[in-house]
Homo-oligomer: A and B are copies of this chain.
Amino acid sequence: MGVTKTQVFTDKQNRIADLAKALAHPARVAIIQHLLKEKSCVCGDLVEVLPLAQATVSQHLKELKNIGILHGEINPPRVCYCINETVWQEAKAIFGEILEPDVAVACCN
C-alpha cells in the first residue's frame, strides 16, 4: 500500500492493525480455519486445499509467521505449521477488548 505512518499511532493501535491483517485476506482466513480444524499441523495439504499456487500459499504463510500467529517446524521433508497459542490468546484478548463495547446509543440525534 502506501506508506502507513506507523510512528504517529500507538503501539497498541499498530498491533491491532497487524493482527487484523492476518485475517484481512480470505486465503489467510482459510489457512487459519484449516489449522484450527486439523489440530495436527498439516502444511503441504494447504496447497491442495487452497486454490492457489504453492508459491502464493508459502507467501501467505510467511506473513502469518511474521505477525506471529503461526510458527513452522521443520520435519523433513515436510514443514509443520501450527497456530502459536500465545499470539492466538493475544488476538482473542485484543479483538475482544475492542469489540466489546456496545453501540446501542443512537447517534446523530
Contact = CB atoms under 8 A, between A and B. Distances in A.
A16 to B, nearest CB: 5
Size class of the contact patch on chain A: 35 or more
Q: How many copies does the complex hold?
A: 2
Which 5 residue pairs of A and B lie closest in terms of their CB atoms, listed nearest first? A82-B107, A20-B23, A9-B26, A80-B108, A73-B108
B17 A26 contact: yes
A24 B88 CA distance: 17
A26 B30 contact: no
A6 B29 CA distance: 12
A47 interface: no
Most chain B C-beta atoms within 10 Å of own C-beta, residue among A1, A24, A92 = A24
A4 B32 contact: no
